[in-house]
Amino acid sequence: MASTQLTDEQLFSELKRLGFTPGPLTENTRPVYLKKLKKLREEQQQQRSRGAKGRNSGSISNNSGSGGTNGNTAAGASGFRTRAPLNAAPSPGGRRDLNEKRTDRAGKFVLGFSSDESDAEAPLKKGGPSHNGSRRDRGSGPQSRCVRPTQETPAAARRSPGAHLGLSAVRRSAFTSPWWTDQAKSDLGETQSCVAKDNDYGEPEERDDSEEETEKSSRTVNGNRASYAADASKLAGDYSDSDEEEDREGQRYRARRHLSRGEPKSASSPYRSVRESESGQEKASGIIAVNDPPGVGSLDVMGERGEDDDETSEFSGGLFNRSYPKSSSFISGVMDEKDGETSSSRPAGCSKNHVDGGDGVASRFRIGLRPRFSSCNNSLSTTYRPNHSNHTGSNHSYSQAAHKHKQAVPEDELLQQFRREEVSSTGGFSAHYLSMFLLTAACLFFVVLGLMYLRMRGSSASEGVVGKCCVSGCNSPGGDYDCLNNTEKDLILSLLLQLHDHLADIAGEHDCKDLTDPLNRSISFSEATQYLKLRNKDYENWIQSSLEWIIKTGETAGIRLIAADPTQPVEDVSEIYRLESTHPRMSFLCRFRRAFLIVIYRAILILTGIGVVWGLMCYMKYRWRREEEETRQMYDMVERIIDVLRSHNEACQDNKELQPYLPIPHVRDSLVQPQERKKMKKVWDRAVTFLSANESRIRTETQRIGGADFLVWRWLQPSMSCDKMCSIPSKVWQGKAFPLDRRNSPPNSLTPCLKIRNMFDPVMEIGENWHLAIHEAILEKCSDNDGIVHIAVDKNSREGCVYVKCLSAEHAGKAFKALHGSWFDGKLVTVKYLRLDRYHQRFPQALACSTPLKPSNSSMNTMVRLHQRSSPSSSLAFS
Amino acid sequence: MSTTSQKHRDFVAEPMGDKPVTALSGIGEALGKKLEEQGFDKAFVVLGQFLLLRKDRELFAEWLKDASGANARQAGACSQCLQEWCDAFL
């Protein structure tokens, strides 16, 4: 082409002629505009050659939209034509983006801030239902959005005056192929806006968020066939900064699922833009055979896939175009049936079609397809049936099938998620039981073990001992028993055994009955002999010898021999005064009880010890904190005193009549409120001593004032200029960065809750009560607005977030205007709206707040700078 | 997956001041170098180019692709970033 020989002016005028308003032509922009010129020329040719094909008109719509964005209002009509073949270029998408941006400015800014970790909306894992619901809403969402602009926003170029005309025309006219070519423009104008809206879903998540919310609101609107007004109000109420990431994931997920079902039909894809190149094969399948009834699924694929990318804008346009030729019959059916419904249903259909991210167009004609619009789809499909005659039965049935399939898809997801939860819950259930069972088994085991041990200990002790005696009997050093015969040994042993048992019983009784009389634990020698004689007459002779044997062998045999003097060991049988068992036999219960009691006592002891230690630590902590607090108060007081003195000194400089010193009690009384004086006495005294010891700029002296002697403070430091500079107040409002207009802020306030960002830096803040300063600052900035009822500073947020709840949305709007874009403490503050219910979720204490908050004192400390300045400090905006 | 990256969010959150061109979303080291060679060493210079093109995202993306060899995604991200910045601060 001869474009290289064009001069700048020629290029400029050429572009203008083609309906495109270029910017200044510089060396950098020249090549771009040259390319643009080439494209425009090609389009022109294409358009002329193509004539009134659907695609062109479809692209016309896109292009007209984009043309409008470029300020080509007047050239709308011509723009339509010239834009027609622009599909191949990336421009449609870009234009559309711009379009959407312009038109969606209203809602955009609210969504303008991406959510962060400290958002009121925690990134919840929404389940399937909400997920699908949100997606469902998406479909309805665009509709409302697209409706609103058509109704409310004044002439954007795109919205041709024929928009409404087109609406009605679409409704009523018979839709044959020529239909849309004629009506294309008007209809396009109307649908254009819808397209634009839907294209928005390709936009960053912020938009997705709000759109999702608007969809949600509009979903109910759709369901109820409510009026737009209700829709708008619902939109306002539902704005939130929910996490859009899950949405994205869900979209992708769905896209993939649809993709798997898509039938890759060959189709020309003249509209594939550069951006779509990334999606490669998906594109091929996506573009599809929109023209076939079975292509329904694929359309969805396209739509779905489109959602994932930012460049979905092309999609909707492309889809729109493509679907036109084939679905005319559909349209008629749809439109006709829609006639029977309220007006809102029409936009519902419109928006549904335009679904976000590009599947919109398809759905327009395949209402049942999108699971998103399942609610609307259901209603529509029910109304569909009566109008069956209007469109091919196959189409309808297929769409129904597809619709059902589509519906099944999200339900499957839902079910799967539920199943997963169920499984986990049952698993947990059984696991719980298992653990309980194991625990009880272990306990039982140990209990049984203990029982057995106790029993064995009680019973075998004596036998073991006696057994030992047996064995060693013959080898005793005593020598007396060396050649005892067995019967005698047995006798002795049995005697000892009997004795031992008896003694054990007695001792056990004694112990168990908790008698304090120690004497009863043992029995006297005579009693023992008596008992043994009772048992067996033969024992009599052997008592002595057995006891001697016990003494000699040194084996206790479970019997302790006590002499008259308890401390002396027994040497001879004659010294034996009492006998006692060393292994008292107690009933099991008794043993258990004793053991239990012992354990309890020990446990109590340990616990008491721990408790004491812990109490001590708590006390220490408390004291330490108290001290810290007091020290901080003291320093605070010291600073205030210094400030007072310094300011007094400065005042003295100006006014020579004042005395350069201040009496200490006067300072105290001016700084400390009367009701606090008693409490602060200690702090004050500490501050005074601190000042006298550590502050060199203040001198304490005695002066006579009014006849009485006062201790006074005199400020010594000569005023330095740098002193003033150093006293930059830290937390003040410093002016507005940019004026708030329609582009920067939502046109109406949406919710009564605000989230204010970038008011502080959590790592830089020190002390305990800096958040109160933030409260003060906000209240003072919005002092004209009596509607702030709750403020919450999120101390841990990285972005310095503050949450504010107002009495109503208008109050919130006023606060928004006052706060958004202002500079505070060197940081640019941004505000966005939050959903009320989410706010309450996060701050349940705000539910009850209804009294407006006021700044604590009327001295507007944080507005000092603003009041000082006479001119707005907009220069700070771009520092 | 979020459509806008952290870089984007960081850029759009505050006035760009003197940020280098690599602070733009979509512009990494390699692209940044190429742009710097052409004289676009700061983000505001690229902003200037964006404004010269009358804030037309598509045109700007085209230009960026030509000027630095960016691919479609990068150019799109950059243009989106700049557009949002303009919406917020311009």
User: A720 or A339: whose pLDDT is higher?
Assistant: A720
For an interface test with B, give the residue of A274, A314, A755, A879 to mutate (most B CBs within 10 A).
A274
Q: What is the pLDDT of residue A865?
A: 66
Q: What is the pLDDT of residue A38?
A: 86
The answer to whether the CB atoms of B84 and A112 lie below 8 A apart is: yes
Q: What is the pLDDT of residues A121-155, one digit of tens each?
A: 444 444 444 444 444 444 444 444 444 444 444 44
3-state secondary structure of A788: strand
Between CA A325 and CA A310 the distance in angstroms is 27
Q: What is the pLDDT of residue A695?
A: 82
**Cβ atoms of residues A321 and A54 within 8 Å:** yes
B80 near A CB under 8 A: yes
B37 near A CB under 8 A: no
Percent of chain A scoring above 90 in pLDDT:
6
Mean pLDDT of A538-557: 72
Q: What is the pLDDT of residue A555?
A: 64
Q: Left, alpha or beta for A867 (phi > 0: left; psi -120 to 50: alpha)?
A: alpha
CA distance B72 to chain A (A): 6
Between CA A804 and CA A753 the distance in angstroms is 6
Between CA A416 and CA A424 the distance in angstroms is 12
From the number of C-beta atoms within 10 Å of its C-beta (0-12, 13-18, 19+), residue A437 rates as exposed
Residue A70 tokens, joined? 């470029």
Angle, alpha carbons A733-A736-A737 (nearest 5°) = 125
Quickly tell me which residue has 């009596």 as its tokens. Answer: A786
The answer to whether the CB atoms of A26 and B52 lie below 8 A apart is: yes
Between CA A750 and CA A834 the distance in angstroms is 8
Q: What is the pLDDT of residues A151-164, one digit of tens each?
A: 444 444 444 444 44
Q: What is the pLDDT of residue A162?
A: 42
ipTM: 0.73
The answer to whether the CB atoms of B72 and A277 lie below 8 A apart is: yes
Q: What is the pLDDT of residue A647?
A: 87
In which band, very low, low, confident or very high, does the pLDDT at A624 lie, cut at 50, 70 and 90? very high
What chain B residue is nearest to A307 in terms of C-alpha separation?
A: B3
Which are the contacts of A19, defined by CB distance < 8 A and separation ≥ 6?
A: A40, A67, A72, A75, A78, A79, A82, A83
Mean pLDDT of all residues in chain A?
Answer: 65
3-state secondary structure of A366: coil
pLDDT at residue A735 is higher than 60 = yes
Identify residue B55 by its one-letter amino acid code. K
Residues of A in contact with B43 (CB under 8 A): none
The answer to whether the CB atoms of B63 and A21 lie below 8 A apart is: no
In which band, very low, low, confident or very high, does the pLDDT at A385 lie, cut at 50, 70 and 90? very low
The answer to whether the CB atoms of B87 and A743 lie below 8 A apart is: yes
Between CA B46 and CA B68 the distance in angstroms is 12
Q: What is the pLDDT of residues A569-619, one digit of tens each?
A: 767 767 677 777 777 777 788 888 888 999 999 999 999 999 999 999 999
B69 near A CB under 8 A: no
Residue A1 tokens, joined? 């082409």
Between CA A357 and CA A124 the distance in angstroms is 23
DSSP sequence for A545-596: HHHHHHHHH---TTEEEEESSTTSPP-SGGGEEEEEESS----HHHHHHHHH
Say how many CB pairs under 8 Å bridge A and B: 119
**Cβ atoms of residues A785 and A815 within 8 Å:** yes
Q: How many CB atoms lie within 10 A of CB B25?
A: 24
Identify residue B42 by its one-letter amino acid code. K
Q: Left, alpha or beta for A834 (phi > 0: left; psi -120 to 50: alpha)?
A: beta
Quickly tell me which residue has 């501050």 as its tokens. Answer: A687
Residues of A in contact with B49 (CB under 8 A): 28-29
Q: What is the pLDDT of residue A416?
A: 64
Q: What is the pLDDT of residues B28-66, one digit of tens each?
A: 999 999 999 888 889 999 999 999 888 989 999 999 998
Q: Left, alpha or beta for A706 (phi > 0: left; psi -120 to 50: alpha)?
A: left
pLDDT at residue A715 is higher than 50 = yes
Mean pLDDT of A223-243: 44
**Cβ atoms of residues A1 and A41 within 8 Å:** yes
CA distances from A630 to A330, A625, A665 (A): 79, 8, 20
Q: What is the pLDDT of residue B79?
A: 92
Between CA A317 and CA A198 the distance in angstroms is 10
Between CA A240 and CA A107 the distance in angstroms is 12
Between CA B35 and CA B29 the distance in angstroms is 10
Pairing of strands A827-828, A753-757: unpaired
Between CA A257 and CA A865 the distance in angstroms is 59
Distance of CA A732 to the CA centre of its chain: 30
Identify residue A222 by its one-letter amino acid code. N
Q: Is the dihedral of CA A91, A93, A94, A95 positive or negative?
A: positive
Between CA A283 and CA A276 the distance in angstroms is 7
pLDDT at residue A100 is higher than 90 = no
The answer to whether the CB atoms of B63 and A24 lie below 8 A apart is: no
Between CA A204 and CA A223 the distance in angstroms is 28
In which band, very low, low, confident or very high, does the pLDDT at A566 lie, cut at 50, 70 and 90? low
